[in-house]
Structure 1
Amino acid sequence: MRAETDESALALSACFVVTSVDRRFVEFAGVMLHTLALNGDVDEVNVIVFCDGLTPKDKSHLRQCGGRLRLTLFELSERTLRQFDGLKTNSNWSRSIYTRLVLPDLLGCKEGRLVYLDADTIVVDSLRPLLNLDMSGMPVAAVGGVSNQDNARLKLPDGTRTMNSGVLLIDIVEWLKRDLSSRCLEIVRSQAARLKFFDQDALNIALVGQFASLDRRWNVILHSHADEPAIFHFTHDKPNSVRCQHPAQPLYLQYRQATPWASKRLKSRWHKRISRLTHSVRRLFER
């Protein structure tokens, strides 16, 4: 039975690791939770998965993968989801991506820290150094740099740093002080035409480079390198696809062997095109 949860009930403690998924990302979230339990060194941290339409079987699989984690699954309420009505989605990104823009509100807490992880990440080292990082009064810490192309597209000043939002460290007090949830949602609604990366672009516009820099080891994406990686992030083609070129794909598949998706076949080269076509047809009939 689908549970309806009031966000105010989520005042847990001062430290969280959080992700948000719909059914398309359950496998990735399961493998990520498995690696978090094995390698993350977060036994005392509250791990929260915000769920959008998961089945009881999906949730059972996630709990199995979570092992000894202090794991809580919360179904996103209709009141929360209404905030995302009309926001941009595509075949890769559903409305659940916008959850990261309102996490302090969903958790119902006024202070503390949270680490947000995209579901398509794996954790291969302790997160304790990340949780204890000096953020120098910034509301967010992330891996980023200067991209002239992104600055031009987002109409940011030359030299502004932009971030990848797949791994975020958030200081809840500073986030709330700057009203970042409301500001980001307003940007998504009012500047949709220029947002190629949707919620990530909105956060970059709102912050204008005002975020603490994380070492690249905390978010190792395709074509990047870190001497001591802690989190691999599968941007572009996903690690359960034959199209994936991320060098950590074999590691992902190794960890997947201990999950309910161990025997699942890799998605074909045609899967991504079929997903895009299906999404386009669905949007056509929704008009």
Structure 2
Amino acid sequence: MHSKALYTFTDTGMLPAACCALLSVTRNSRQKDMKLVVIGIDLPDEQKANVADFNTVNGVDIEVIDFAFPADTPGTEGRWRKSTLARLYLDRLMGEGLERILYLDADILAVGNVDPIFDADLHGKAIGAVDDYVTAFPEKIGQRERELGLAPGSRYFNAGVFLLDCAAVRAGGFFETARSLLCSGRSFAFNDQDILNIAFSGQWQRLDNRWNVQTGIMPYITHPVLVHFTGRRKPWHASVQAGHSLYAGIYWEMLSKTHWAGFVSRRSSFQKTSDYLLALGKCAGAMNRSRHLKAHFGASNGDVMSDNYPGAAQSGSDRFHTQSAEGWQAFFDRYSHIVLVANSEALDLQTIRTEYPDDALFVFFNKVYKVLDDSFPGHAILVARSGMMGANIVHRREVADVLKFFTTDKFLGILNIRTAPEERFSPASAFNGAKVLHGDLEPLMAGYYPPDKIPTSGFALVAWMKQLQLKPKIVLAGFSGKRSARWKVFDVHDWTFERIYFRLLAQRGAITSAEHAGPSRFDMLNRHFPDAKDGEIQAAINEALATRLDHALTLIDGLMSLTKWQRALDQAFRKARPKTRKQRALDRQAKQAS
């Protein structure tokens, strides 16, 4: 017998999105007894068969319940969408034995751990919901209160997400009141949402904003859980707005192997450019709205290492669910060694693995196909850098290409990190059901790294582990400091600074190298000049390096002169097209540094 359930209402047009909404919740929940229900309005048998196919492909059990409006129901023709109007009959569709139901609009996507909402304290109220976007604007909410007859100062909730206490709903007759309003002949600007706000006036509990992050407030919620695409342009549309393009990839991944593979449209280059220009045009008008929204909704902040974002615990270990510094210490201290594996083509990972015991933990980064040819058999976690500056496997839709190398039960999960203010976490649901934690290392990196550069993922992990003061030996594999001849290397990182940092840690015994490079070539000079005074050898080294660098700069100047016409041509082409997110971020950093 189920005690908790997810409900969504849909017609044929939104059915694929509705199924994705339910699937995204299961991927972000540890609940084992949660009932998944789609209330279908006028669904043909073919579409019901497509739901069964979706279930098989994605390993879920979504039940379809047909719904037909009573013959005397007004409003089923015209601008009232049947799938939203049907919500007013939800009390008649609640299954026996259910204690709580989480209702979701079809255009909802879960990107974080949904479990806590089922245990939310409703303080005796019938439902829990989140403030609507309009409540940030006093003049608008005041007008809404007057039109609906709500008491001054009343709150107005968005009906895209609400949690029902089934016993309280049955006892209160709230939906009966809502249906009476529907039949009253009264006009409502926002249809059934207005009706529900009247019916539940004084009987709903406000929930945290992260449980219904509407399009207009997305920039102000740091850690969303349920994202609500309230605009006309949805992530699966070709005209999806730029800020939602990441979510389009999530829908595509969920549907690509089903009969609804064509549901997600791809944007052309022309559409992307048009969206960019349109966004620029909206910036000025958004300034005043931004002030109101930020003041009202603020930002929901999480821990540095947060468990607010786990994916489904379908793969990996339950041990990988910590968030405190003490918890991470206990997690890492289970292992004898922590081997950080850089994506270097010179790395012989097979040989390196044989040099460490079975209880060593291997930490991989981003595009592991650079170093792995087959499924990795040892204990491992994957660090995914999903900010605009990193190797973004989510944005590039390479999650499946990377996760195929981690198929054993020794794969513990994914640590999605951010190290700079411009970076944004990827939703847990973007990682194909793998266990996911989010780590905010940006506060640690602030003041710790040259301000005009972005730290590599490896550097950020080493600095964080150093702060944790872990017992296992930390080993760097492939961190040679040599430029890759095969893979593109970005100049956004300060490679020299990082190399010196690692060298100093190695000299103090805090880390070791898997390549057994031995002592520095400069250390050998001490053997030849045992009577050298303090600093004498270092001064000679500095002078020699300065001479070499001067010579290198002369050669670079010559190359710059030879390629001047090529650079001029390249700059002309660059100015003719919009800047990328990475270029815009670099421009902001340059201004901040100056």
Tell me, yes or no, if structure 1 residue 106 matches structure 2 residue 101. Answer: no
Match of 1:157 in 2: 151
Match of 2:26 in 1: 37
Question: 1:44 offset after TM fit, Å?
Answer: 1.8
Cα distance in 1 for residues equivalent to 2:224 and 2:108: 12
Inter-CA distance 267–20: structure 2 relative to 1 (3 Å threshold) = farther
TM-score, normalised with respect to structure 1: 0.79
The one of 208, 213, 216 aligned to 1:215:
208
Cα distance in 1 for residues equivalent to 2:242 and 2:129: 20
Cα distance in 2 for residues equivalent to 1:84 and 1:36: 35
Report if aligned partners of 2:51, 2:62 keep a CA contact under 8 Å in 1.
Answer: no
Tell me, yes or no, if structure 1 residue 189 matches structure 2 residue 179. Answer: no
Indicate the larger mover: 253-262 or 152-161. 253-262
Tell me, yes or no, if structure 1 residue 205 matches structure 2 residue 205. Answer: no
The one of 40, 54, 65 aligned to 1:74:
65
Match of 1:281 in 2: none
Tell me, yes or no, if structure 1 residue 143 matches structure 2 residue 139. Answer: no
Larger Cα-atom Rg: 2
Match of 1:276 in 2: none
Inter-CA distance 85–226: structure 2 relative to 1 (3 Å threshold) = same
Cα distance in 1 for residues equivalent to 2:53 and 2:22: 9
Secondary structure of the residue that 1:161 maps to in structure 2?
coil
Match of 2:247 in 1: 251
Match of 2:317 in 1: none
Match of 2:106 in 1: 119
Cα distance in 1 for residues equivalent to 2:38 and 2:72: 18
Cα distance in 1 for residues equivalent to 2:124 and 2:39: 27
Secondary structure of the residue that 2:50 maps to in structure 1?
helix
TM-score, normalised with respect to structure 2: 0.40
Tell me, yes or no, if structure 1 residue 172 matches structure 2 residue 166. Answer: yes
Secondary structure of the residue that 1:227 maps to in structure 2?
coil
Question: 1:263 offset after TM fit, Å?
Answer: 3.8
Question: 1:28 offset after TM fit, Å?
Answer: 1.4
Cα distance in 2 for residues equivalent to 1:23 and 1:267: 23
The answer for unaligned runs of 5 or more in structure 1 is 1-11, 270-287
Cα distance in 2 for residues equivalent to 1:153 and 1:84: 26
Match of 1:230 in 2: 225
Cα distance in 2 for residues equivalent to 1:102 and 1:169: 15
Inter-CA distance 148–205: structure 2 relative to 1 (3 Å threshold) = same
Tell me, yes or no, if structure 1 residue 59 matches structure 2 residue 48. Answer: yes
Secondary structure of the residue that 2:251 maps to in structure 1?
helix
Cα distance in 1 for residues equivalent to 2:195 and 2:96: 23
Q: Which amino acid letter does the alignment assign opposite residue 22 of structure 1?
A: D
Deviations, residues 185-231 of structure 1 (Å, cap 9, x unaligned): 111221531x1221111110112243111111111111213221111
Report if aligned partners of 2:23, 2:60 keep a CA contact under 8 Å in 1.
Answer: no
Cα distance in 2 for residues equivalent to 1:136 and 1:68: 36
Secondary structure of the residue that 2:65 maps to in structure 1?
strand
Deviations, residues 131-159 of structure 1 (Å, cap 9, x unaligned): 11111100010001642232122121211
Q: Which amino acid letter does the alignment assign opposite residue 254 of structure 2?
A: A
Higher relative contact order (CA 8 A, sep 6+): 1
Inter-CA distance 125–89: structure 2 relative to 1 (3 Å threshold) = farther
Question: 1:63 offset after TM fit, Å?
Answer: 3.2
Cα distance in 2 for residues equivalent to 1:61 and 1:262: 11
Deviations, residues 167-187 of structure 1 (Å, cap 9, x unaligned): 010001111111011100111
Question: 1:83 offset after TM fit, Å?
Answer: 6.2
Secondary structure of the residue that 1:63 maps to in structure 2?
helix
Q: Which amino acid letter does the alignment assign opposite residue 124 of structure 1?
A: V
Secondary structure of the residue that 2:163 maps to in structure 1?
strand
Cα distance in 2 for residues equivalent to 1:110 and 1:38: 24
Cα distance in 2 for residues equivalent to 1:98 and 1:192: 15
User: What is the number of residues matched between the two proteins?
Assistant: 253
